[in-house]
Structure 1
Amino acid sequence: MFRNRLSPFLLVKSNRKALYNHLTQATSSSSRVAREETSRFFSTGIVRRILHDFRSSPKVLLSLSLELRDFYNAIPGQYVPSLRNVSTVQSLNEKSNEGLKLLVNGGSHAQKMVGIWLFGSAAWVFSMVVLGGVTRLTRSGLSMTDWKFSGGLPPLSDEEWLQEFEKYKLSPEYKKFEIKNEPPTEYAQPRVSPYRLAAHLTSAFVIYSGLLWTGLSVVMPEPPAESMSWVKGAAKVKRLALPVSLLVGITAVSGAFVAGNDAGHAYNTFPKMGDTWIPEDVLEMKPLIRNFFENTSMVQLDHRILATTTLVSIASLWWLTRKVDLHPAVRYLIGSTVGMAGLQVTLGISTLLSYVPVSLGSAHQAGALTLMSLMILLIHTLRKPSPFLLKSLPKVAKTI
């Protein structure tokens, strides 16, 4: 009876082949009876005889998948983690999906191509963020006299350089030095507006996050879920991970205000700020709110507090989820996030103590985006599976 009910699932050639390989692998160490049953099952001609019946009733797929799970569990000592490798592939290619919304409906090849495009775009934005950090640290952006969308070649002759210098004399940077009559030293150079810099960096982070999330949704429409126990564990972790990811984003934005105010050059000591824990001038600006965005002392103090809180929060996330029943991929991501958070704090302290060299400063900015990437991947992996997949999951993941 089971063969008669399951045979329609094998009408599509790709599904028949995938399921055969899946069953053969699952029963490789099973009894001889189970292997013979699998062989007889695929040697019958029932598949062709009930083609019409299956096409007229595609929703029978769900009930057949549940029976297939019971068939696996009935084999002594054997367990295939889930039907996800079979049922998900089928659900991606059929219009009878229940609760699963695909961003790309052109098949696995189309999903792969779109995924490559999205991940490539995200990598390009990542490189632009790192290059932007180098541009800021070397103050290359302040020397621009004009900006052309199509780009252009730098000056190649003495006459062209003189023309560019005349344009530079009209810039706010040159006028400020001319009024003060002082040479442009490292600490006297004009600052980029911290508000504009923060908005610029935040928008880059948002674009990158959107590309990464969308790419993950295309290539991984279902989260890794092998049992209801793991799904429930993922839901518990998600409630803790969401506020932590928000804290990571806020800390990254505060770093933009540190860069915009050149706060990294103010107190190059750690853990104290100079000789004190809290400088006396942290609230000297009026109105009070300006201190959190324009006061060098307060901006650096805020970033120190936020960075330490982020590290403690991520470590606490790992500690609180040690005994939660989770998919191995989720547990690995949590461990990787803890390691990256520790590395990011180490880079930040090293950058501060070394008076913000270009190499460490750009690495610290890249580390912030890497840490955010891991948090995005973790949140994406903790999503709730579709109703179609939930109905096919066992209560507890069994092992061989």
Structure 2
Amino acid sequence: MFSRAYQTHHDRQLALWLLTCAVVIYGMILLGGVTRLTESGLSMVEWRPIMGIWPPIGEAAWQEVFAKYQRFPEYQKINQGMGLDEFKVIFMYEYLHRVLGRLIGLLFIIPLVFFALRGVIRPGLMPRLLVLLVLGGCQGLLGWYMVKSGLVDRPSVSQYRLTAHLGLAVALYAAILWQFLNLWPKAGRRSKSSSTASLAGVARWSPLLVVLVYLMILSGGLVAGTDAGYAYPTWPKMGPGFVPPGLYAATPSWLAAFEDVTTIQFNHRLFAYLLFFLVGGFGLFLALKASGTALRLAGGAVMAALLLQITLGIGTLLTRMAIPVAAGHQAGAILLLTVLLFTVHLLRRHTTINGS
């Protein structure tokens, strides 16, 4: 058996490794969003998971990949007449996105094998790490499955596959971050607090807020996948009023929530308003009522991240999806999820320690 100090030391090493993976995945998600915003995702029409690590080298190689791109719908229906220099720009966004995905795989696998061979992974953690590894592999397959949907007859990927690809990436990020928080050495026992009872009630339902923010991100995936943000680039109204005409105008009506741009954007806005009250109220409660400084600061951070994200969302609409603002909006969504995960974990740890 390892001593407590020995296990804590290696838990810290594992935690820093997982944190590094989470940070790089954050960057991967943002790069994926920029790839989508610049309409670069269909520039690479082959997967080539091994040899695809090398970019085209030399004019002949560039002409070859460009000729392949010209045989597919995006070039024929949208980018007809695009020159090689313009193609190189969109190609490099997608190329870097794929290369970063491969590097994340190596960043996870190599240290995992190293720690496993040294026998320093605490009991019960290895199965969870292996599940994350398998899901990471599935993410790569899902990315190519998404791209394939835009190489058939229409020059855009399926919004369902795009949302699934985004959703799995965010789920992996959140799961890895949660494992980091579990492994990072905990503070010592805190003194009992009169606010423990009320905090314990909040702690029990606080994970629901994480789920709602995650669903909000999936809703954003549908907006991106259908270009629904262009339908009504105004705020707070959508057209003549708050509620636009033609909501759920589909057969069956529920299908409009996934395929009608007006309904998709309206639902995304409603989600934002709901989170403003629920997440904002949660942050305000902690900032005002929590006894510990760390929890009060966490509550303030939640409110700040929420306000930033809402501001970026409105700005994305009013600038008609300007790439820097829209990319910032996606970054803000992951930031809000991150701050919320930290806060929920801290709150649950606080109430567990004080309630013990």
Query: Structure 2 length as normaliser, TM-score?
Result: 0.72
The residue identity in structure 2 corresponding to 1:328 is: T
Task: Work out the CA distance in 2 between the residues paired with 1:182 and 1:162.
Answer: 14
The residue identity in structure 2 corresponding to 1:155 is: P
Please give the residue correspondences for 1:377-392 in structure 2 after superposition, counting only pairs within 5 Å. Answer: 377-384=342-349
**Residue of structure 2 in register with 1:204 after alignment:** 169
Could you list the per-position Cα deviations for residues 203-234 of structure 1 after superposition, in whole angstroms to 9, with x for gaps in the alignment? 01110111111011101456873315354343
**Residue of structure 2 in register with 1:112 after alignment:** 12
Is 1:258–1:264's contact at 8 Å kept on the other side of the alignment?
yes
Change in Cα spacing, 1:171 to 1:316, as seen in structure 2 (3 Å) is: same
Question: Is residue 264 from structure 1 mapped to residue 229 from structure 2 by the alignment?
Answer: yes
Name whichever of 163-172 and 262-271 sits farther off. 163-172
Deviation at 1:357, TM superposition (A): 1.4
- How many positions carry a matched residue from both structures? 283
| Secondary structure of the structure 2 residue equivalent to 1:142 | coil
Question: Is residue 122 from structure 1 mapped to residue 87 from structure 2 by the alignment?
Answer: no
Please give the residue correspondences for 1:69-148 in structure 2 after superposition, counting only pairs within 5 Å. Answer: 93-94=3-4, 106-148=6-48
Determine which of 325, 328, 339 is the counterpart of 1:360.
325
Task: Work out the CA distance in 2 between the residues paired with 1:272 and 1:326.
Answer: 41
Task: Work out the CA distance in 2 between the residues paired with 1:177 and 1:190.
Answer: 8
Could you list the per-position Cα deviations for residues 92-140 of structure 1 after superposition, in whole angstroms to 9, with x for gaps in the alignment? 955xxxxxxxxxx842321221111010010010010111111111111
**Residue of structure 2 in register with 1:171 after alignment:** 72
For structure 2, the residue ranges without an aligned partner over 5 or more in a row are 83-153
**Residue of structure 1 in register with 2:56 after alignment:** 155
Is 1:229–1:325's contact at 8 Å kept on the other side of the alignment?
no
Change in Cα spacing, 1:126 to 1:136, as seen in structure 2 (3 Å) is: same
Does 1 or 2 have the higher relative contact order (CA < 8 Å, sep 6+)?
1
**Residue of structure 2 in register with 1:326 after alignment:** 291
Deviation at 1:388, TM superposition (A): 8.4
For structure 1, the residue ranges without an aligned partner over 5 or more in a row are 1-91, 95-104, 184-188, 392-400
Percent identity over the alignment is 33
| Secondary structure of the structure 2 residue equivalent to 1:304 | helix
Please give the residue correspondences for 1:31-46 in structure 2 after superposition, counting only pairs within 5 Å. Answer: none
Task: Work out the CA distance in 1 between the residues paired with 2:300 and 2:188.
Answer: 18
Change in Cα spacing, 1:107 to 1:137, as seen in structure 2 (3 Å) is: same
Name whichever of 148-157 and 134-143 sits farther off. 148-157
Change in Cα spacing, 1:281 to 1:386, as seen in structure 2 (3 Å) is: closer
Change in Cα spacing, 1:168 to 1:319, as seen in structure 2 (3 Å) is: closer
The residue identity in structure 1 corresponding to 2:238 is: M
Could you list the per-position Cα deviations for residues 132-156 of structure 1 after superposition, in whole angstroms to 9, with x for gaps in the alignment? 1111111111111212223344434
| Secondary structure of the structure 1 residue equivalent to 2:199 | helix
User: Which has the larger helix fraction?
Assistant: 2
Name whichever of 136-145 and 151-160 sits farther off. 151-160
Question: Is residue 297 from structure 1 mapped to residue 262 from structure 2 by the alignment?
Answer: yes
**Residue of structure 1 in register with 2:207 after alignment:** 242
Is 1:231–1:384's contact at 8 Å kept on the other side of the alignment?
no
Query: Structure 1 length as normaliser, TM-score?
Result: 0.64
Change in Cα spacing, 1:93 to 1:263, as seen in structure 2 (3 Å) is: same
The residue identity in structure 2 corresponding to 1:160 is: A
Change in Cα spacing, 1:349 to 1:177, as seen in structure 2 (3 Å) is: closer
Deviation at 1:172, TM superposition (A): 3.6
The residue identity in structure 1 corresponding to 2:18 is: L
Is 2:196–2:351's contact at 8 Å kept on the other side of the alignment?
no
Task: Work out the CA distance in 2 between the residues paired with 1:223 and 1:137.
Answer: 46
Is 2:229–2:317's contact at 8 Å kept on the other side of the alignment?
yes
Change in Cα spacing, 1:225 to 1:172, as seen in structure 2 (3 Å) is: farther
Task: Work out the CA distance in 2 between the residues paired with 1:385 and 1:378.
Answer: 10
Task: Work out the CA distance in 2 between the residues paired with 1:386 and 1:327.
Answer: 11
Is 1:240–1:317's contact at 8 Å kept on the other side of the alignment?
no
Task: Work out the CA distance in 1 between the residues paired with 2:181 and 2:62.
Answer: 47
Deviation at 1:364, TM superposition (A): 0.7
Task: Work out the CA distance in 2 between the residues paired with 1:323 and 1:345.
Answer: 22
Could you list the per-position Cα deviations for residues 249-270 of structure 1 after superposition, in whole angstroms to 9, with x for gaps in the alignment? 1111101100001111121111
| Secondary structure of the structure 2 residue equivalent to 1:155 | coil
**Residue of structure 2 in register with 1:253 after alignment:** 218
**Residue of structure 1 in register with 2:245 after alignment:** 280
Deviation at 1:176, TM superposition (A): 4.7
Task: Work out the CA distance in 2 between the residues paired with 1:203 and 1:164.
Answer: 29
| Secondary structure of the structure 2 residue equivalent to 1:140 | coil
